[in-house]
Amino acid sequence: MAGRSTTFDNYSQRLLSNFSPLAPSKIGVEATDEEEQVISDDRRLIPIVFVGAIMLCGSFFLGLYSAERLAQCRLSGLENAKRNRWFLLSLLSLFGFFCGGSLMLLAPWISRCAA
């Protein structure tokens, strides 16, 4: 442990005692070959991501509501038709959650393929 601190002390003393100026450096912008820069226009992503976000949020709230209703149906012992309806609605919300998330995740790829 003592060897490390001695090495660090020697190094820091060398840095603190060396007051020579730094070597000059070239500051500037390299010249270009007058070629236009390609800038991608990502406005096509906005509708895709917006639809995906609506699907994702909507299916999340639909899933919460259907899970709550499904739990109430199971506790109160309602007939199978209502229980199955809420179960199918919860499966639909899972599908919407998956589709909305996938749509937002794949939006850049979809917009490139559509162009």
The pTM of the whole model exceeds 0.75: no
Contact 111, 46 (CB under 8 A): no
Contact 96, 73 (CB under 8 A): no
Contact 107, 48 (CB under 8 A): yes
CA angle in degrees (0–180, nearest 5) for 88-93-94: 95
- Please, what is the average pLDDT of the chain? 77
Residue 3 has pLDDT above 60, yes or no: no
What pLDDT does 35 receive? Answer: 64
Longest dimension (CA), the chain: 88
Task: Sketch the domain layout of the chain as residue ranges.
Answer: 43-115
Residue 72 has pLDDT above 90, yes or no: no
pLDDT tens digits, 7-57: 666 666 666 776 777 677 777 666 666 666 666 667 778 888 899 999 999
